[in-house]
Amino acid sequence: MKDIPIVDKIPELEIAIKAVEMAGKAILEIYQGDFESFAKSDDSPITEADIKSNDIIKEILSQTDHPILSEEDKDDLSRLSEDTIWIVDPLDGTSDFIDKTGEFTIMIGLIKNKKPILGVIGWPTEKTLFVAQKGSGAFRYSDNEWKRISVTKVSDLSKCRTVGSRHHLSDKEKSFIKKLGIEDFTSIGSSLKVGKISSGEAEAYITTTNKMKEWDSAASYCIILEAGGKMTDMLGNDITYNNREVHHQNGILVTNGLIHDKIIEEFKKLE
């Protein structure tokens, strides 16, 4: 793979890219064979791919001294005293992995003083990466080359292409999207929703669920911001990371930035 065209790379950037690549290869091997899925204590699905990916990522990220908060490990709260931590979702979109849609990702974010400064998302089935480092822009790697990516300039809500969850779209979300006058809606798995907005292929992702956790958005946060977009909760509050409570209580709104306040304004009318 060619080097990402970022001049002042922090050392963690190459380490995170390597971790996502190696985990992606292992996930694809399992994906192409027979595998079993199990239910975790919260009824969410898990497969051997989640566990294998987690092991590979932890081994590679342990070259650094930063603690790791991962979906697949018990939370070690000693991380709260650290300025810098990794936040990892070893397989985002496990349901899509099980259903063989191809729309699953690997997510690694690096957090410093509660803010993401690095985001790497891998899309194994398409050999694609979305990568951003704070202050250096956002990039997409596909077809063996890196390209800088950015959000669109669409500011008319009715012309917005909106993406949402295939497995978790609620009736509340459906009716709210309709109320906004948005007609172009596509269901997509995993963090690819944010990848699409960052690449200028959609304008908004709306979710009102309180089930999102820090690892569901840490990598995406850096990528969407560096692509010129915006991510807040549905009430417009900024999102911070490395908190004791890792739930995002008020859902997530990701946009190209230009339609962000309009959507929040309309949402607050419902509350």
Angstrom distance (rounded) from CA 150 to CA 191:
16
Task: DSSP letter for 214, please.
Answer: G
55 is in an annotated binding site: no
Q: How many CB atoms lie within 10 A of CB 219?
A: 32
216 marked among binding-site residues: yes
Cβ–Cβ under 8 Å, residues 23 and 57: yes
Q: 6: how many CB neighbours lie within 10 A of its CB?
A: 17
267 three-class SS: helix
- CA-to-CA distance for 30 and 271, rounded, in angstroms? 44
Distance CA 49, CA 47 (A): 5
Report the phi/psi class of residue 143: left, alpha or beta, with left for phi > 0 and alpha for psi in -120 to 50: left
Find out whether 71 is annotated in a ligand binding site. yes
167 DSSP assignment: S
CB distance 80 to 28 below 8 Å: no
Angle (nearest 5°) at CA 105 between 243 and 37: 95
> How far apart are the C-alpha atoms of 178 and 183, rounded to whole Å?
7
Does 92 belong to an annotated binding site? yes
List Cβ neighbours of 9 (8 Å cut-off, separation of 6 or more). 133, 136
Binding site membership: which residues?
71, 89, 91-92, 216
Binding site membership for Mg(2+): which residues?
71, 89, 91-92, 216
